[in-house]
Structures are given as structure tokens and as C-alpha cells.
Amino acid sequence: MLRYYVPTKAQRETRLGTLCGTLVMSYRIGLVGKPSVGKSSFFNAATMNDVPEGAYPFTTIDPSIGEAYVRVEDAAPEFDEVSTPTVGFLRGDVRFVPTKLVDVAGLIPGAHEGNGLGNQFLTDLNETDVLIHVVDFSGTTDIEGEATEGHDPREDIEFLTEELDQWYLGVLEKGIERYESGYTTEEDAIEEELAEQMSAFKTNEDEIKRLIRRTDVGFDPTEWEPADKLELARAIRKETKPMVIVANKMDTEAAQENYEAITTDPDYEDLTIVPASAHAERALKSAEQAGVIEYRPGDSDFEIVGDVSGEQEQGLEQIRDFLEEYGATGVQAALEVALFDILGVTPVFPGSANGLENDRGEVLPDCYLLPPQSTAEDFAYSLHSDIGDGFLHAIDCRSNRQVGASYEVEPRDVLEVITTN
């Protein structure tokens, strides 16, 4: 009866390993940057928490993890249904699917050598899958986060990647030392040693091997020059901590001028930069909670529905002008660029071909965020290991067609999994 490909135990374990790392624990987006750029303000605006914000460096010391949401167009209306999410929530036709956001201490140049709050704070970023680099585009904070004027945000963009690369290099060098000290047995390959040493960065042997090949440094670390080591460290960092830049404090004129200059500078055209105002997002969400406006996070407009003072109205109208100019506050957009554009995460709805409602009366209660190139079978494993083990085929609920184990899922697929058990 099993007409479809069933993985061997070893294949299953490898795949489950990956899934446990990313799916079951859900995605983690890390906020990085020098002090006073607005990481905590962005965190609070996205998660509606109240971690301390302050116009002085190192306001944040201990990391915070909160729940943020990414928007996915709901699939239920295509089936003439209204969904009832049990995970996240629905606003109009938009599903807000939860993801984790991490706020950490600010980094200053030399952090990897212990400057500022030092190296241990870098490790707070270990478990993150993708980074949002928050940059103060207003230029009113210097490279260490102290108040100034006319600081060039380009400097911040440069230093942060350098700092992360040096951090990776330090860990990589420890792995090379261990390898060369003969601590490991002779048969061990360098990629094995490095994968173990760098496992906290969510990498593995295959990935290291691929990156050694891609950087062309060769498999004998005794031959590696300092520049080779840095190149490899950088390649591993780029792979395991891809990054989007948020141009924050865009509600100020100075930030808008810098944004215009940097986004038209050919040296920076390869970067993904999202213009944002953490303050505007927070203000709109707070006004919504107070019943003053109706605002759906990420939207390009809002409606005033309550009584407002003249001053409040003026503030809100200023934010409306901002939304008109930049399309949105940028907070939602940055989270979505990080997960969907940079990581290539695919949202998939578990459904049923015979009407979307499940036996608990819920309509499309869940939406899974799957790693790029996930197959129908990976999706089954993400539902439950037993469902993956018993996978027969899946049904695309829109077309009612069967799809096999190796079918690559597409964004907003609605799939039912048929199993042997």
C-alpha cells in the first residue's frame, strides 16, 4: 500500500534534527546594533512589551525574548470560510503568525575583545536564525551610542558586520587550535571539528564543508593564512546569521536625509534596508489599545474612531504623513523581510480536503512556518513525527490533487496529509 517514498531511519533523524532546530522551537529573529539605536523600542513596538528604553548607552543588559507576528494572507476566504486561528490571530483577511523576537545589549567596536559589555553578550545571539540590524539613521548617536550630531550611519553598518565576523573568527580559531593540537583523533576531518566547535551557531558538518569549498581555502587548516580564516568565518556568519538593516528614527528629518543619501549610494545597493520608526508603531498600537484609532499593524493608514485632543490629533496626523511617505512604520515590514525574503520561510496551512473545519469546529486553526525547500513530507513531520512516519501522500486542498512526498511546498499552500495510521 505504501506507494510513496518513505525515508530511512537515518534520513528521518537528520531531517528531524533540522526541524527541531527551526520549526518546533519556531524562528528567532535577533535585534542587534550599537547602544541607543532603538532596539528595545523596536522590540516593545513589535511585541507590546515594556522593557526599558533610554537615551543613554547600555540601557539593556539582560536579553529579552518576546512574541512578534508576521502577516500571511489568510487562505480561508478562497474557500468561502472564515478562519478561527488558535495560534496567532486574524485581522480582516490577514493572519498574524507568531515568531520569536530577541532584544539584546548594544555592541560597540571591540565587543569581541570584551569592550563595552563584551563578548558574553554576543552569545545571547547564538540561537537566532536571522538578525535585524537596527541603525540610528538620525546620526544623533556616536559609534558607542553617546549623544552627538551628524554621525554617519554608514560607519555603524560597517562596524557591526566586522564585529560579528571577529566573533565568529575567535570561535573558528579555537576549533582550528583543537584540531592542530592533536586533541582529536587523526581520522577526524576539519569540518567535523569546526562543526562541533561552532554548533551553537546552528551550523553542521555539511554546511562547513560546503563553505570550505565555496571559499576555496582548502581542507588543510595548517595552510590557512589569517585572511583565509577570516574569509571562512565571514562565510559561516553570513550563512548562519543573515541580516536585514532597519533604518530607525525615520520620523526625524536628519534620518530621512541620511536614508536618501545611503539608499542612492552604489556602495550600499546590495544591502536590504527597511525605513522604520519604532516610535510611530508604538504610538499607533497604544492609540489602538486606548480605543482612539483603528490600526492593523503593517497597514499604510489608520482611522481615528475615538475622542482626541487637538495635540493628539496633530501627532497622529504627523504619523499619517509618515505612513504616506514610507508606506508603513516599517516594524512589521522588517520582521517579514527577515523571515520571508532573507530566510525564505514558507507559510503552510494544515487543512482538510472535505471542508476546512476540523473535528473541533476550528477552521484553518494553524499556519506553519517551514524552512525553504520544505517538502510535503517535511510538512508532515512538522505536524508530528508519527504523521511523518506514516506519510502516504498529501492533498492540495485548493485543487483536490494528490501530491507526493517530494513535492516542494509553496507559500500559503493548504495541505491535508494522508497517513497509514
Ligand X SMILES: Nc1nc2c(ncn2[C@@H]2O[C@H](COP(=O)(O)OP(=O)(O)OP(=O)(O)O)[C@@H](O)[C@H]2O)c(=O)[nH]1
- Give yes or no for residue 106 binding ligand X (CB under 6 A): yes
Kindly tell me which residue out of 11, 24, 25, 54 binds ligand X, with binding defined by CB under 6 A.
Answer: 54
Distance CA 290, CA 302 (A): 14
Kindly tell me which residue out of 36, 44, 47, 60 binds Mg ion, with binding defined by CB under 5 A.
Answer: 60
DSSP code for 90: E
- Give yes or no for residue 248 binding ligand X (CB under 6 A): yes
Nearest to 101 by CA among 269, 321, 331: 331
- Which segment (30-38, 62-70, 266-274, 289-297) binds ligand X by CB under 6 A? 30-38
Kindly tell me which residue out of 47, 277, 332, 382 binds ligand X, with binding defined by CB under 6 A.
Answer: 277
Q: Which three cell numbers stand for residue 214?
A: 565555496
- Burial of residue 414, with CB atoms counted within 10 A of its CB: 0-12 exposed, 13-18 middle, 19 or more buried: buried
- Give yes or no for residue 388 binding ligand X (CB under 6 A): no
Residue 371 binding partner per list Mg ion, ligand X, none, with a CB distance cut-off of 5 to 8 Å that depends on partner kind: none
Give how many residues touch Mg ion by CB under 5 A: 4
Residues 6+ apart with CB under 8 A from 112: 119, 122, 163, 166, 167, 170
Kindly tell me which residue out of 202, 241, 279, 393 binds ligand X, with binding defined by CB under 6 A.
Answer: 279
Nearest-approach distance from CB 168 to ligand X, in angstroms: 21
Distance CA 39, CA 278 (A): 9
- Which segment (195-203, 244-252, 339-347, 390-398) binds ligand X by CB under 6 A? 244-252
- Give yes or no for residue 28 binding ligand X (CB under 6 A): no
Nearest to 75 by CA among 95, 89, 91, 97: 95
Element at 238 (helix H, strand E): helix 226-240
β-pair type (346-350, 94-103) = unpaired
Residue 57 binding partner per list ligand X, Mg ion, none, with a CB distance cut-off of 5 to 8 Å that depends on partner kind: ligand X
The footprint of Mg ion on residues 11-40 (CB under 5 A) is 39-40
Distance CA 104, CA 117 (A): 11
Q: Which is nearer to ligand X, 121 or 224 (CB)?
A: 121
Residue 128 binding partner per list Mg ion, ligand X, none, with a CB distance cut-off of 5 to 8 Å that depends on partner kind: none
Q: Which is nearer to ligand X, 19 or 107 (CB)?
A: 107
Distance CA 233, CA 176 (A): 12
Q: Which is nearer to ligand X, 231 or 281 (CB)?
A: 281
- Which segment (34-42, 257-265, 290-298, 377-385) binds ligand X by CB under 6 A? 34-42
Q: Hey, which bits of 92-161 come out as E strands?
A: 94-103, 130-136
Q: Which three cell numbers stand for residue 143?
A: 559609534
Q: Which is nearer to ligand X, 117 or 212 (CB)?
A: 117
- Which segment (48-56, 186-194, 283-291, 398-406) binds ligand X by CB under 6 A? 48-56
For cell 553598518, the residue is 157
Distance CA 405, CA 418 (A): 11
Nearest-approach distance from CB 402 to ligand X, in angstroms: 49
Tell me how crowded residue 223 is: count the other CB atoms within 10 A of its CB.
9
- Which segment (52-60, 90-98, 193-201, 213-221) binds ligand X by CB under 6 A? 52-60
Tell me how crowded residue 115 is: count the other CB atoms within 10 A of its CB.
14
By CB under 5 A, name the binding residues for Mg ion.
Answer: 39-40, 59-60
By CB under 6 A, name the binding residues for ligand X.
Answer: 33, 35-41, 53-55, 57-60, 105-106, 145, 248-249, 251-252, 277-279
